[in-house]
Structure 1
């Protein structure tokens, strides 16, 4: 949702201690946007911080594998080497990539602030 779609203002009063606690909780989950943090808590009742570094590394490795497979396939086609096996590998990678895409979509829904 774009910022322009949120055209209603909600004003709340807090004590100094409550504000300190709010900022500490934001820091715990590495949130920089106070409005988004409060909206998330108000609508869902929770806010989480998910470390996506392992997922990013997994996607990077998968992309490298796909690129390597494409190079192998190109070589095999030009030299008629095990073409049927390369085609099977390509199909396997396509299926694997679909699974990764599904996983990433589910993760994106979980971590959306």
Structure 2
């Protein structure tokens, strides 16, 4: 077809669920032309980029606390004693987690 106004062809592969979702959105828009819909969405659609830096920091902090708790529990189970320094360390780490949560909450508000 040499007279086409759009000679460049792009193809995509979809599964059944993705196709159904696209068709549902096209029905909501009232269009039946997939090419027009795809062009419009690809050129004018929104791009959302999420920064997970704070969530990763929070997950790492929680993981460190969980690891410390596990070590302390093992020690208590084997010796029957716990140490005040362990409790203080856990409180410090928990304070770090709360600080991360407060910062994240302020950013969202």
Q: When the two structures are superposed, what TM-score results if normalisation uses the length of structure 1? A: 0.47
Larger radius of gyration: 2
